Amino acid sequence: MASAYSGRCFCGFVRFRLDDSPLYACHCHCHSCQRAAGAAYVSWATFAVDVMRITDGVITEYQSSPGVTRGFCGHCGSSLTYAHTARHGEIDVTLASIEDAEDIVLRSHIWVEDKAPWVVIADDLPQYPQKATG
């Protein structure tokens, strides 16, 4: 994997750098991600929070549920980050916002019990009813 990644929101107001490889990557099918992103699921890469640097703009944050902070661009609305107090020191970054993410390997589908009925999972990744166990 690459040792650094760059990324941005749709309009380019927010730009960031991730100075290490991800700890994990998955597709999340939970209702919360569906509503926050307006999509059937969101692909996330998890990084240590201290490797993320905002290089331009500012991420607007929203407390979407107890212990959860979601970050987005206040200009274009792009979903960018997810942080949970139960995973202190980690931040999830939307995989689609990372410009050079071709080598990030997705490892699972999580919250499959909330999967949209029209979504067909056709890969061999492990599927977890809720969060991944390992």
Range of the domain at 10: 5-114
Q: Is the pLDDT of residue 22 over 90?
A: yes
Average of per-residue pLDDT across 47-66: 96
In a domain, 124, yes or no: no
Tokens 């492990």: give the residue: 126
CB distance 12 to 78 below 8 Å: no
Kindly tell me if the per-residue pLDDT of 134 is higher than 70: no
pLDDT at 104 over 90: yes
133, part of any domain: no
Domain with residue 36: its CATH number is: 2.170.150.70
- In a domain? residue 10: yes
DSSP for 24-71, written as a single string: EEEEE--HHHHHHHTSS-EEEEEEEGGGEEEEES-EEEEEEETTEEEE
Say what the pTM is.
0.92
- For tokens 């020191």, what's the residue? 89
- What is the arithmetic mean of pLDDT over 4-25? 97
Query: In the chain, pLDDT over 90 holds for what percent of residues?
Result: 93
pLDDT at 65 over 80: yes
Q: What is the pLDDT of residue 133?
A: 62
- Cα pseudo-dihedral 98, 101, 107, 108, rounded to 10: 40
